[in-house]
């Protein structure tokens, strides 16, 4: 395998979304006329995630954390300097008040609103595989040539990350965490209880969350550690509250080709899959077999994919749906007039990311989730149920973590230009304290399951 950073491929998601998918924006539906719109995004992250590579997290195979992102958009002007706060239940353990700061005005698009990849023209190819199984399906891979932008077209998923409050969407905007407040929610922090949002540019917003509307559980993966050759028997414990799952890998072959795979039953670019989906989108993608049903706990990564990129980055998403509130409540009669003063959306996701061959994300993943543990997979025991970078706070890390922004960004730029990032793979490997894996001469014959 080239010396290009294994970790660098984690940033390829955005590039693939920009280069491979070509559909225009999808219209987003938002309630008409509320004075204030408030979104709370609750994510549970396991493994390599959150903007830095923490050596201790790498060595332990991860470690679950809870992230909360709060956004308030209002049509009202503030009385003086913008000031707002979220008073959470005591069980959140993040402090009695979470200040919603208005960001300083900057010119141009923010990193969150820009989907373009800047840099030299990319080179090389991307080979796209799809479907759970011990061997790839006929007709794979789909090949995309970056230099000439040639290749087969991918079907448009018809979904995008839902559009929420933003600094340019209303008259006044505030968010948490922010540049002055970066308090982290502890692993045992809970959203359950009464919440109050108040300020000088918003009406008071009150809502309450029950035990079934808390942070999702952490992924507990199995079958990905010490993989040497053949299909990867990926498995996971059921996550309470998960509405669907999606798995994908990105890696680099010895030839320099980018190897991409997803658990979808149709060819898709993993970069086009949002971390959060609306309930309607979840149902539509389940019907199209793009995402896995909530009953699924196993999905083998085909041998051809794993052998071509044995140290690929694996990413799992557990879609948790959302909870919506409004005041006054929406009338039962859809024809009745409704002018809400404020609307609230709380949305959930559980995310896991690791490198194939790293320790399983199980013992270090935090609190146990409901349901039986997924056992090890054997040949022919697939259960794929057919048919059926996050604006979060940064935390101080005591172990002098590597800068993901510089390391991964530079690695991807070199990867697409046909060069490499010297020493990056060795750095990650040294953190894992295990020898480099020898490339396999041939792939064993593995019985197919389809």
Contact 426, 359 (CB under 8 A): no
pLDDT of residue 121: 58
Q: How far is the first Cα of the chain from the last one, in angstroms, to the nearest whole number? A: 30
Nearest Cα to Cα of residue 8 among 445, 410, 338 = 410
Mean pLDDT of 116-140: 81
Question: At 146, is the pLDDT very low, low, confident or very high (cuts 50, 70, 90)?
Answer: confident
Q: Is the pLDDT of residue 104 over 90?
A: no
Q: Is the pLDDT of residue 367 over 60?
A: no
Give all strands of the β-sheet with 84-87 in edge-to-edge order: 98-99, 84-87, 193-199, 202-209
Q: Which residue has the tokens 């087969």?
A: 152
Q: Is the pLDDT of residue 233 over 90?
A: yes
CA distances from 72 to 49, 187, 273, 343, 345 (A): 25, 25, 25, 10, 11
Mean pLDDT of 247-275: 92
pLDDT of residue 441: 38
pLDDT in tens, 394-437: 332 223 333 333 333 333 333 333 333 333 344 333 433 333 33
pLDDT in tens, 26-82: 444 444 579 999 999 999 998 875 444 444 444 444 468 899 999 999 999 998 999
Q: Is the pLDDT of residue 101 over 90?
A: yes
pLDDT of residue 168: 82
Question: At 311, is the pLDDT very low, low, confident or very high (cuts 50, 70, 90)?
Answer: confident
Query: CB-based contacts of 331: which residues, under 8 Å, 6+ apart?
Result: 337, 338
The first and second tokens of residue 81, run together, are: 């300097």
pLDDT of residue 163: 84
Kindly state the percentage of the chain with pLDDT values over 70. 63
Alpha carbon distance 275, 348 (integer Å) = 9
Q: Which residues of 335-344 are buried (b: 16+ CB within 10 A; e: fewer)?
A: eeeeebebbb
Query: CB-based contacts of 151: which residues, under 8 Å, 6+ apart?
Result: 142, 143, 144, 145
pLDDT of residue 388: 35
pLDDT of residue 103: 84
Q: Is the pLDDT of residue 211 over 90?
A: yes
The first and second tokens of residue 10, run together, are: 């984690």
Question: At 122, is the pLDDT very low, low, confident or very high (cuts 50, 70, 90)?
Answer: low
Alpha carbon distance 71, 69 (integer Å) = 7
Most confident of 117-131, 153-167, 209-223, 349-363: 209-223
Alpha carbon distance 86, 374 (integer Å) = 39
Nearest Cα to Cα of residue 156 among 22, 292, 29 = 22
Dihedral through CA 366, CA 42, CA 410, CA 413, nearest 10?
120
Alpha carbon distance 403, 387 (integer Å) = 41
pLDDT of residue 167: 87
CA distances from 61 to 42, 357, 397, 443 (A): 22, 10, 16, 27
pLDDT of residue 63: 67
């Amino acid at each position: 395998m080239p010396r290009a950073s294994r970790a660098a491929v984690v940033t390829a998601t955005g590039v693939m979304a920009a280069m491979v998918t070509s559909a225009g924006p999808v219209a987003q539906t938002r309630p008409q006329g509320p004075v204030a719109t408030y979104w709370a995004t609750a994510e549970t992250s396991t493994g390599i995630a959150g903007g830095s590579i923490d050596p201790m997290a790498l060595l332990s195979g991860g470690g679950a954390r809870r992230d909360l992102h709060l956004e308030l958009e209002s049509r009202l002007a503030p009385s003086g300097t913008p000031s707002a706060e979220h008073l959470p239940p005591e069980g959140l353990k993040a402090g009695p008040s979470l200040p919603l700061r208005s960001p300083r005005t900057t010119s141009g698009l923010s990193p969150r609103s820009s989907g373009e990849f800047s840099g030299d023209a990319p080179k090389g190819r991307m080979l796209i595989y799809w479907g759970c199984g011990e061997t790839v399906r006929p007709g794979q891979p789909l090949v995309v040539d970056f230099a000439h932008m040639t290749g087969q077209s991918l079907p448009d998923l018809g979904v995008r990350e839902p559009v929420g409050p933003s600094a340019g969407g209303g008259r006044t905007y505030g968010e948490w965490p922010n540049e002055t407040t970066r308090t982290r929610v502890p692993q045992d922090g809970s959203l359950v209880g009464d919440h109050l949002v108040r300020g000088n540019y918003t009406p008071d917003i009150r809502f309450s969350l029950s035990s079934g509307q808390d942070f999702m559980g952490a992924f507990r993966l199995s079958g990905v550690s010490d993989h040497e050759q053949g299909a990867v028997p990926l498995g996971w414990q059921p996550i309470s509250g998960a509405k669907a799952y999606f798995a994908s890998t990105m890696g680099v072959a010895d030839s320099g080709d980018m190897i991409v795979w997803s658990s979808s039953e149709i060819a898709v670019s993993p970069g086009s899959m949002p971390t959060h989906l609306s309930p309607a989108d979840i149902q539509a993608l389940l019907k199209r077999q793009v995402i896995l049903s909530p009953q699924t706990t196993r999905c083998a990564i085909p041998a051809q994919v794993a052998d071509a990129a044995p140290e690929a980055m694996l990413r799992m998403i557990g879609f948790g749906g959302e909870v919506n509130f409004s005041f006054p409540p929406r009338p039962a009669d859809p024809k009745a007039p409704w002018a809400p003063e404020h609307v609230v959306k709380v949305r959930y996701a559980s995310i896991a990311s690791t490198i194939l061959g790293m320790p399983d994300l199980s013992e270090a993943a935090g609190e146990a989730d409901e349901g039986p543990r997924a056992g090890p997979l054997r040949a022919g025991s697939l259960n794929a149920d057919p048919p059926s970078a996050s604006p979060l706070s940064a935390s101080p890390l005591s172990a002098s973590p590597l800068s993901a922004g510089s390391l991964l960004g530079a690695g991807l730029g070199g990867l697409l230009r046909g060069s490499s990032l010297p020493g990056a793979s060795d750095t990650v490997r040294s953190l894992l304290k295990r020898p480099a894996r020898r490339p396999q001469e041939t792939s064993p014959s593995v019985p197919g399951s389809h």
